[in-house]
Every structure is written in structure tokens, then in C-alpha cells.
Amino acid sequence: MELRQIRYFLALAEECHFGRAAARLHVAQPALSQQIKQLERELGISLFHRSTRHVELTEAGRDLTGYARTLLAEAERARVRMAELATGHAGRVSVGFIGTATYDVLPRVARTVQARLPHVTLELRGELLSPQLADGLLDGTYDLAVLRSAAAAEELTSTPLRTEPLMAVLPAHHPLAAGPRISLGSLAGEPFVIHPAQARSAMYDRVLSACRRAGFQPPSLVEVGETATLVVLVAAGHGVALVPESVRSLRLDGVTYVPLTDPDTIDLVLARRTHGNSPSVQQVASIIEECAHA
């Protein structure tokens, strides 16, 4: 039983006239009659009572009508679904975000994908470190990763998203918090709250390198894995911190974000596997690139 036969059967069932059904299907009447006879032979039962003036459904034909409509509807649903998958408008995409991109890029991506690609299931994970994200891409945990350093593995490809200046995060009561801009050297002697010193931790190395260029080494470090926790600890008076400018979208009471006079910068990149990405992954990647520049 072919879908073409089902379409022919339904047209005749609804028209109850071979001529009108053939015209509706844009086929010759003998071709329609042949397909109906073949369908009846395959099913082993008559579907229509035929006379020179009248065509009507048999009991079996009436019973088959419901099944036929369901079959054609499911076939159309399958066709639409395959078209969506082929164009990236359906599928499942997992994206991981570095902690410092969790608060501005992630929400914009979630809103935009929901609006433009409602049939794409998006799995988002924030507050991760670059090593976790790179490993997650390689083992298939993530399809895309927004991180702070270009992926070193040959199996991964990186696309630059933007370059951001580092800025200071100070307790709101800090003497320097009221200034429009400060030098990094003015924070010499302050304890620093910093992302952990794990292998390939982009922020840890970048912050300490910036401090060295400013002529000092922080006297103590408080290491935390999550950016939100880092800002909370600054608000609680455990130290000061350097973060990318976009982190200022994380608004918490008790802290002030202060620009630096001569800030170091840090890159944000989008990484993915070099091969085997689905169309939906490519669609979401394009949205991430757009949202990162917004």
C-alpha cells in the first residue's frame, strides 16, 4: 500500500466520482481506476460500489477512510519534520558557557532561539570553566561552547566573538569605588577574588598577568569557581576582582564595577567540533555570534 494509492483513494472517497477525482489529482481517469483496483487487490476487499452512474464507499471503504487520513497526515508531519531538521529549524543543541559569559550572552541566546527556532530543543549550561567546555566538546557533552580561549585541539574550531576590557569589581564601600576610573596599580596590596588556578584557566592567568604588568602581585587570593560567587565575595569584603566588562550585567547589591585607565582585554570565542555538526547546531551558532555582538 503506497501513499500515492492512499491519496487516490481519499480523493475518490470524497468526490465519489472518477472524473472529478481524476481532475483533482491531475491524473488520467484510467490511471486512477487502475490504482484503486490495485489497492483493492492488495487489501483483498472492495472499497467502492461502482455503477455507470454512481460510486459509493463500501463498509470497508468507509472504515479505511479514517486510517487513510491519519496516514497522510503523519506522512506530512514526517515530511515537515525532516525539512526542519535539514534546515536546522528542529533538533537538539547543547551549549556550554564560560562563567563570565553566563549573564549577558546566555539569556540573549535563549530568548532569540526560542523566538526564531521554536522547534529546536536548547540545552544550556552556564558557569563552566574553559577546560570543562573544551573537554565537553570533544566527548559530545556540548555541541557549542562559549569560552575565553581558542580551542587548542585539532578536532575543534573556534570563531572570535568579541574582545572585552577587564574592569575592577570593588566593594561598594571601597574608597576607590566612587571614582569614574582607576588604575590597576591602585589595587596593589588588596586581596583578590579570582577564578581557580586550574589548567588552562583563562581568567586566572589573565588577571595575574595584568597585575604583574601593573607592578604588583596580590598578597592573597581567594579562588572561586562561579562568577556569581566571585562577585558575592567581593560584596562581602573578601577582596577585589577583575572581570570582563560584560559581567557588569550581573547586578548585585554591595559591589561597584569600575573601569580601568589602561585595561587589559580578553577574548570571547565560540568553539565547536570541526566536523559532524548538524544544521541546527549551525543555526544556533549563528545566533550566538549575533547575540555576542549585540
pLDDT digits (tens, 9 = 90+) for 53-82: 789 999 999 999 999 999 999 988 888 888
Look up residue 257 and give its amino acid: Y
* CATH number for the domain harbouring residue 12: 1.10.10.10
37 shares its domain with 67 = yes
142 shares its domain with 285 = yes
Asked if residue 203 has pLDDT above 60, the reply is yes
What was the pLDDT predicted at 154?
A: 84
Lowest-pLDDT choice from 18-22, 282-286, 290-294: 290-294
Give 125-157 as a DSSP string: EEEE-HHHHHHHHHHTS-SEEEESS---STTEE
Euclidean distance between CA atoms 67 and 194, whole angstroms: 64
29 shares its domain with 105 = no
Kindly report the pTM of this predicted structure: 0.75
Tens digits of residue pLDDT in 112-167: 999 999 999 999 998 888 888 989 999 999 999 999 877 677 899 999 999 999 99
* CB 267 within 8 Å of CB 292: no
Question: For residue 199, what pLDDT band results from cuts at 50, 70 and 90?
Answer: low
Last residue of a domain, one of 60, 87, 114: 87
Tens digits of residue pLDDT in 79-98: 888 888 888 889 999 999 98
What was the pLDDT predicted at 152?
A: 72
> How do 144-147 and 91-98 pair as beta strands?
parallel
Residue reference for cell 472524473: 19
What was the pLDDT predicted at 200?
A: 55
* CB 261 within 8 Å of CB 182: yes
For the record, the C-alpha cell of 287 comes out as 545566533
Longest dimension (CA), the chain: 103
What was the pLDDT predicted at 120?
A: 94
Euclidean distance between CA atoms 196 and 208, whole angstroms: 12
Euclidean distance between CA atoms 257 and 247, whole angstroms: 9
> How do 55-57 and 120-128 pair as beta strands?
unpaired
39 shares its domain with 56 = yes
207 shares its domain with 168 = yes
Tens digits of residue pLDDT in 226-261: 899 999 999 999 999 999 998 998 888 999 999 999
Tens digits of residue pLDDT in 180-191: 999 999 999 999
10 shares its domain with 79 = yes
Euclidean distance between CA atoms 118 and 66, whole angstroms: 30
Strand partners, 222: 193
The radius of gyration of the chain from alpha carbons, rounded to an integer in Å, stands at 32
97 shares its domain with 157 = yes
What was the pLDDT predicted at 1?
A: 82
* Domains identified in the chain, total number: 3
Q: How far is CA 167 from CA 187, 204, 239, in A?
A: 12, 14, 14
In the predicted model, what is the mean pLDDT of residues 280-285? 95
230 shares its domain with 99 = no
* CATH number for the domain harbouring residue 97: 3.40.190.10
174 shares its domain with 258 = yes
125 shares its domain with 244 = no
111 shares its domain with 187 = no
For the record, the C-alpha cell of 210 comes out as 595584568
What was the pLDDT predicted at 10?
A: 93
Q: What integer best gives the mean pLDDT of the chain?
A: 91
Give the range of the structural domain holding residue 45, as residue numbers without chain letter. Answer: 3-87
80 shares its domain with 212 = no
